[in-house]
A = this chain, B = another copy of it.
Amino acid sequence: MKGYIGLDIGGSKILGILYDAQENVVLKIKKKSKAHEGKDVVLQQIDKVIQGLMADKTYEVMAIGAGVPGLVDDQGVVLFSPNLSFRQFDLKGHIASRYGVPTYVGNDVNVAMYGEYMKLARPGVKNVIGIFVGTGVGGALILGGELYTGQGAAGEIGHMVIQNDGARCGCGNYGCLEAYASKTAITGYIKSHMGRGAKSELEVLDEAILKSSLLKASYEEGDALVVEAVMRAARALGVGIGSLINLFHPDQIILGGGVMEALGEAMMPEIIINAKVNTMPGLLESVSIDRSILKDEAGTYGAYQLGRKLVL
């Protein structure tokens, strides 16, 4: 039978899934990336996952798809991935030549959001903006039913400026959406205010970035500082989404990532009201704003779809 491999290659782990032609999960393998041991070790770990998924000879693997964190060009060359110690590395060529099958390699957020799009989109939906709210804020643009990457790095939604000269962002600039809406920004806001005497049940002064589950628990207990930090993130997302609707007039916006998974239910009303305020009259009504549904398997599922597309 025909099989297709989807890989989600992250900085800490590699998840690989063998799917059949009907989108069923046949086999799942997870290995550490060991990125701190350098590129060659990461490649060995990728090999172990692929070989494990290929061990069952019932399935003939027709294509491999993969998402990796970082900047990937449209030829599947990883230009820069600090999390994987890759730089100017032709990962697509490497996998394709080793396994002799058509291979797709793309940016992880793009790949995962393409997966969400394929899973969620209603018939006729062609233009979808994906926003991934986690440690940072990433994005993906699906336009005319295809991933749009421009010269390679398009979709940096987290680095739209929503507040000129505003909060300092990890990218070095000021006022980016990421500087308000990411988990890093939420943590920073809470820490900074606790350092100035604000009360919170959270003990965060030593933690680099708070866990989403901890944020969720404190939010649900009504911890005022946490509630304010989370609502501030939701408002910023609404401002960004308003601008995105004015720019793209898309069919759908999909929100995913760790922050949305943990706090999406609480944040969505605030996100939507702020999106409405910042959208041109008449445009919002025709755009649906939804939360992602695939969670951990969005990356492998998107990679599967993009790989399979090569042989359809």
A residues adjacent to B (C-beta < 8 A): 127, 139, 141, 143-144, 148-157, 159-164, 166, 171-173, 236, 239, 242-243, 246-251, 277-278, 280-283, 286-287
**Closest chain B residue to A249, Cβ basis:** B150
User: Are A277 and B173 closer than 8 Å at their CB atoms?
Assistant: yes
Give the CA-CA distance A253 to B149 in the complex, in Å. Answer: 16
Q: How far is the CB of A62 from chain B (nearest CB, A)?
A: 28
Q: How far is the CB of A270 from chain B (nearest CB, A)?
A: 14
Measured between beta carbons, the chain B residues less than 8 angstroms from A246 are: 153, 156-157, 159-160
The one of B154, B161, B249, B281 in contact with A248, judged by C-beta atoms closer than 8 angstroms, is B154
**Helix, strand, loop or mixed for chain A's interface?**
loop
The one of B151, B172, B281, B282 in contact with A172, judged by C-beta atoms closer than 8 angstroms, is B281
User: Are B154 and A249 closer than 8 Å at their CB atoms?
Assistant: yes
Measured between beta carbons, the chain B residues less than 8 angstroms from A148 are: 143-144, 248
Give the CA-CA distance A282 to B172 in the complex, in Å. Answer: 13
Q: How far is the CB of A81 from chain B (nearest CB, A)?
A: 14
The one of B150, B161, B251 in contact with A162, judged by C-beta atoms closer than 8 angstroms, is B161
**Closest chain B residue to A155, Cβ basis:** B247
New A-B pairs, 8, CB < 8 Å, besides A141-B247, A155-B247: A127-B151, A139-B247, A150-B251, A153-B249, A153-B283, A156-B246, A161-B162, A161-B239
The one of B164, B239, B242, B286 in contact with A151, judged by C-beta atoms closer than 8 angstroms, is B286
The one of B152, B236, B280, B282 in contact with A249, judged by C-beta atoms closer than 8 angstroms, is B152
5 closest Cβ pairs, A-B complex = A150-B249, A156-B246, A154-B249, A160-B243, A159-B246
Give the CA-CA distance A144 to B239 in the complex, in Å. Answer: 27
Measured between beta carbons, the chain B residues less than 8 angstroms from A152 are: 249
